Structure 1
Amino acid sequence: MIKILHTADVHLDSPLTSLALRDEGLRAGIQAATRSAFTRVIDAALNEGVTALLIAGDLYDGAQRSAKTAAFLAGQFERLQAAKIPVFYIKGNHDAENPITGQVALPDNVHVFDGRGGKVQLPDLDVWVHGVSFNGRHAPDSLLGKFDAPVAGAVNIAMLHTSLAGAAGHDNYAPCSVSELATLGFDYWALGHVHKRQVHSEAPWVVMPGIPQGRDIGEAGPKSTTLLTIEDGEIAVEEVPTSVVTFLNHNIDVSGAENDDEIRQRIRHSLHAPIEGLRPDDDAILRLTLSGQTARHWHVLRDRDIWTETVSQMAEETGRLWIEKLSFVLEAPATAVETSATEELGRLMEQIAAEEGFAAQALAEVDEVLSQLPSARRAELMSDAEALSALTTELAEAGSEHLFALMKGASE
């Protein structure tokens, strides 16, 4: 039996992005999350007694220039060297632009494929590893023509950093299709670049292992590396968990709650669910939503700042959970009759918000506020005119709802 571990998109020292990191204790504990996740990859390789480790690109995270990163990486590879485990590594778009890459003397158990491509046989085994690295930051054309033909009668593994036919949120690099990969005769395609794990094919295996440590709510859920087991020429694949901090979306339904004590009890009880899915030593950062119909609808919206702090404290008391953002999607009970002057004013505010003149003025004011932000943050919030319009609408609706909640809550 032969075991091989396949990972990609480690993005060493890439910062985790979350509003929850404003908490000093949390920030100090997870600032090295990508390193900790990579350490778990190495731990898994040693614990499983693998024959090799494959890193399919983006080991680094852009133009990071930390000597500590280089020293950490060399130390982890030396752990594998002591166990006589070779590492096969191809450069992706982030590696190609990183000044550390190629300047650090990595242990001699690390084989880095270059842009010309090549193949290496695993010692004393009929298993060959093929790989092609990026020559620069961009690879707009297919790299498939640089692969040697598979070795007849052997197990052939090919490493490629690619977006395949395209993936949302990822640059279109080294494009190719799964059907093209299948025709080349390799037994396993060890891919990288797209951060969501996906098994695209099992005959042959075409596997994108995903990122080993999520970095924001857009990379939610537990992350892993992929373990190949080769026996009698057949390949089996399984996930090995690696992330130390998990980003999660979590909803708490408070429908029917008649008072604040009941809402608090629902929240406290519901916070057990995300903990149950975590490994014993792991933390989670939650984007939490309170939803449902409750008689306390307007009161909660009126006091949303108090509830936000209350929920954050409940999460922190678990010692495992941290709130990134709390959203309110609450409704008044269906039997409520809206006849008061407050409801009439609420309908009037909705009409005003829908007027073109109001929308234009709101758009100008939001644009003015955003212009005061650093360019990088401004680009995140306002990538184009459509994004600016959507943000303005969201802020106007939130402001109207909050003002109405203040009036409604005060009148009851």
Structure 2
Amino acid sequence: MIPFRFLHAADLHLDSRFSGLAHISPAIRSYLRESTFAALGRLVRVAIQENVDFIVISGDVYDVSDASLQGQLRFQEALKELGQHGIHVFLIHGNHDPLDGLRLTTEMPKHVTVFGGHKPDHSTAYRRKDGQEVAIVSGISYPTAKVTDNTALTFSRKPGSRLFHIAMLHGNVDGDLLHETYSPCSRRDLIERGFDYWALGHIHKRSILHEKPAIVYPGNIQGRSIKETGPKGCYVVDVDEAGSPTLQFHELDYVRWQVRELSIEGLSNEAEWIQQVEQVIDEIREELPELMSVVRFRLIGRGDVHKVLAEKGAAEDLLSELQRREAVRAERKDYEGLVWVEGFAVESGLSIDRERLLEEDSFLGEMLRLSVRTEHTTEALEELINSALKPMLENQELRKLLSDTSQEEKLSWLRSAAEQGITMLGEMEGTPEDEN
């Protein structure tokens, strides 16, 4: 087999609407909107610098089916630049940019292959320099926004070909609960189809589900909410003479989302807590000097500072001040190293003797035991939340909102409720203090 190199990306979501950011300045909002286009620019540069033979993009180039004119023009510009360097592009459409979506009716350039939505087509990729055949690429697009069939079962290896086989699929493998179950399938379904590399899209968390054959989610190229933390980018894949792929991840994002934990244990007053927050912000600037960062602080641990945070609104006051400072930086167009604090999740608590409370025969003790039992069982957590929110679930929009909520967020609700209960009931009953 002739060695070759390709780039695997997915979920570009160009011109995406960023969510979960309140009180954000116009300058920062504009920068966030531009970040998906900037990440696309980095993708093009990586492809050129790494001298890849072709690119596979596994769905959701755009964020909505009626993609913005700007998003379409910027993508066409990127394709043109890739074509000037002899890089072929294979493309499928996903649930956010299905084939029936409203877009410009322009003909794709010859170096771009867009797969249809009826059955996986086969296409032969050629090595850019010598023209020799190196791989068979197959793919299927979403004809409409909702594809609930297992389209993986429609893929088949090209009979008689010994070339490296790549399958492009936008779908949910093994039922990821954080994403819609579109084009659902199992790992076994993919393994049994006989392909060498499954170039997946739809799940925004980067993961290699299987090595031989390679079953790969590259994740999206730019995080867009606090649910999409960590580096975002693409894989450059080298296939050797034996047909074995080696993957190298390349970061493409311009805005990095992250969650940081801060413990209040050992802090004696509000000033020490503020100093600790500012210190972490400075650390983030030093770690990511070329990026804008969006961070949520999880305040954990137990201590006297909790009462200031929970009752006096210190977290909200500090948040407003920190956001004001960063807005001033943004007005100066100083986006590199900017750290926007998205919020504080107060999951801390008062100093208590937790073990004694768990054994105590009281309403507070029973409440805490229920919280512990529920926290360690997914089914129990779902049952408790659904029961507590039953009156609200009659509203369709609220039901949809709850279905989009992650397990981590639901656990955060549970812990916050438990701590509020301890704070309120403890003051009434006289909570046992931590003796340490």
What are the superposed Cα offsets for residues 147-197 of structure 1, whole Å, 9 maximum, x if unpaired? Answer: 352653211111112212321122223333222322332211111111111
Counterpart residue number, 1:210:
219
Deviation at 1:37, TM superposition (A): 1.7
Q: Distance in 2 between matches of 1:92 and 1:273?
A: 38
Counterpart residue number, 1:325:
343
Cα RMSD after superposing both structures: 3.8
What are the superposed Cα offsets for residues 318-348 of structure 1, whole Å, 9 maximum, x if unpaired? Answer: 942111111223334459xxxxxxxxxxx8x
Unaligned regions of 5+ residues in structure 1, if any?
336-346, 351-362, 408-412
Runs of 4+ in 1 over 6 A off after TM superposition: 314-318, 389-407
Task: State the SS of the aligned residue for 1:217.
Answer: coil
Please give the TM-score of this superposition, normalised by the length of structure 1: 0.79
Match of 2:145 among 137, 150, 163: 137
- Alpha-carbon spacing, 1:107–1:65, altered in 2? closer, same or farther (3 Å): same
Task: State the SS of the aligned residue for 2:107.
Answer: coil
Deviates more, 1:109-118 or 1:128-137: 128-137
**Structure 1 residue identity aligned to 2:298:** T
Q: Distance in 2 between matches of 1:323 and 1:405?
A: 31
Q: Distance in 1 between matches of 2:321 and 2:59?
A: 43
Count of aligned pairs: 377
Does the CA contact (< 8 Å) of 1:118 and 1:147 recur in 2?
A: no
Does the CA contact (< 8 Å) of 2:157 and 2:193 recur in 1?
A: no
Task: State the SS of the aligned residue for 2:176.
Answer: coil
Counterpart residue number, 2:119:
116
Counterpart residue number, 2:317:
306
Counterpart residue number, 1:237:
247
Does the CA contact (< 8 Å) of 1:158 and 1:189 recur in 2?
A: yes
Q: Distance in 2 between matches of 1:175 and 1:403?
A: 46
Unaligned regions of 5+ residues in structure 2, if any?
330-335, 354-363, 368-387, 429-436
Deviation at 1:400, TM superposition (A): 7.5
Counterpart residue number, 1:356:
none
Is 1:189 the counterpart of 2:198? The answer is yes
Does the CA contact (< 8 Å) of 2:99 and 2:141 recur in 1?
A: no
Deviates more, 1:281-290 or 1:256-265: 256-265
What are the superposed Cα offsets for residues 285-324 of structure 1, whole Å, 9 maximum, x if unpaired? Answer: 1111223333333234333232333454577779421111
Does the CA contact (< 8 Å) of 1:150 and 1:156 recur in 2?
A: no
Task: State the SS of the aligned residue for 1:42.
Answer: helix
- Alpha-carbon spacing, 1:225–1:277, altered in 2? closer, same or farther (3 Å): farther
Q: Distance in 2 between matches of 1:328 and 1:117?
A: 49
**Structure 2 residue identity aligned to 1:228:** V
Counterpart residue number, 1:283:
292
Deviates more, 1:216-225 or 1:117-126: 117-126
Deviates more, 1:53-62 or 1:319-328: 319-328
**Structure 2 residue identity aligned to 1:142:** N
Task: State the SS of the aligned residue for 1:19.
Answer: coil
Q: Distance in 2 between matches of 1:392 and 1:91?
A: 36
Task: State the SS of the aligned residue for 2:167.
Answer: strand
Deviation at 1:257, TM superposition (A): 1.7
Counterpart residue number, 1:343:
none
Task: State the SS of the aligned residue for 1:218.
Answer: coil
**Percent identity between the aligned chains?**
27
- Alpha-carbon spacing, 1:76–1:130, altered in 2? closer, same or farther (3 Å): same
Does the CA contact (< 8 Å) of 2:259 and 2:297 recur in 1?
A: yes
Match of 2:72 among 67, 70, 73: 70
- Alpha-carbon spacing, 1:390–1:202, altered in 2? closer, same or farther (3 Å): closer
**Structure 2 residue identity aligned to 1:205:** A
Task: State the SS of the aligned residue for 2:40.
Answer: helix
Does the CA contact (< 8 Å) of 1:58 and 1:93 recur in 2?
A: yes
**Structure 2 residue identity aligned to 1:111:** T
